[in-house]
């Protein structure tokens, strides 16, 4: 489509099958739509909270390729709803493996869960290879002359 065609289609059918000038697939009801993720440089942050209590609904390897944090906070303590998700924890490994630089990353779980314990034990070698450190949920975080339990981080 030319820019004029997209513009006309969004004006004749406002909001229908067009998001930000890009045609969408109306048959797709999944939260991960068929919209292409725009290419761009990664975003570097000090601290990132993994969305949705580390549920696999909104976080995939692309998140970790694009959002490069020194610290990732993993919440979630609801195994029935898949929180935290083993798939998301594996996505961290996959995403970080594609960074091209071996920056130190610290994963801060807010709860001690079976999922995080198993993931830690089963992927420990890969974590070391990728320079990922996992704090125990009973760990203490020290920031700017203040220390507090890692599980008490709030936003």
Q: Which domain holds residue 120?
A: 43-149
pLDDT value for 27: 45
User: What is this structure's pTM?
Assistant: 0.64
Tens of pLDDT, residues 2-43: 445 444 444 444 444 444 344 444 444 444 444 555 677 899
Q: Give domain status of residue 79, yes or no.
A: yes
The whole-angstrom separation of Cα 120 and Cα 73 is: 15
Higher pLDDT: 51 or 60? It is 60
Q: Give domain status of residue 17, yes or no.
A: no
The whole-angstrom separation of Cα 142 and Cα 152 is: 12
Q: Give domain status of residue 113, yes or no.
A: yes
pLDDT value for 11: 45
In angstroms, the Cα distances linking 1 to 4, 12, 18, 20, 127 are 8, 15, 12, 14, 45
Tens of pLDDT, residues 86-113: 999 999 999 999 998 889 999 988 888 8
What is the number of other CB atoms lying within 10 angstroms of the CB of residue 74? 26
pLDDT value for 83: 72
């Amino acid at each position: 489509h030319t820019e004029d065609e997209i513009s006309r289609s969004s004006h004749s059918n406002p909001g229908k099958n067009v998001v930000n000038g890009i045609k969408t697939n109306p048959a797709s009801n999944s939260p991960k739509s068929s919209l292409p993720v725009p290419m761009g440089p990664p975003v570097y942050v000090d601290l990132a909270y993994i969305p949705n209590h580390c549920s696999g609904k909104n976080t995939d390897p692309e998140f970790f390729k694009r959002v490069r944090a020194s610290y990732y906070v993993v919440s979630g303590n609801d195994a029935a709803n898949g929180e935290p998700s083993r798939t998301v924890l594996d996505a961290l490994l996959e995403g970080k493996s594609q960074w091209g630089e071996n920056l130190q990353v610290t994963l801060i779980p807010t709860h001690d869960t079976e999922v995080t314990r198993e993931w830690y034990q089963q992927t420990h070698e890969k974590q070391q290879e990728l320079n990922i450190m996992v704090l125990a949920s009973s760990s203490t975080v020290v920031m700017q002359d203040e220390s507090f339990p890692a599980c008490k981080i709030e936003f």
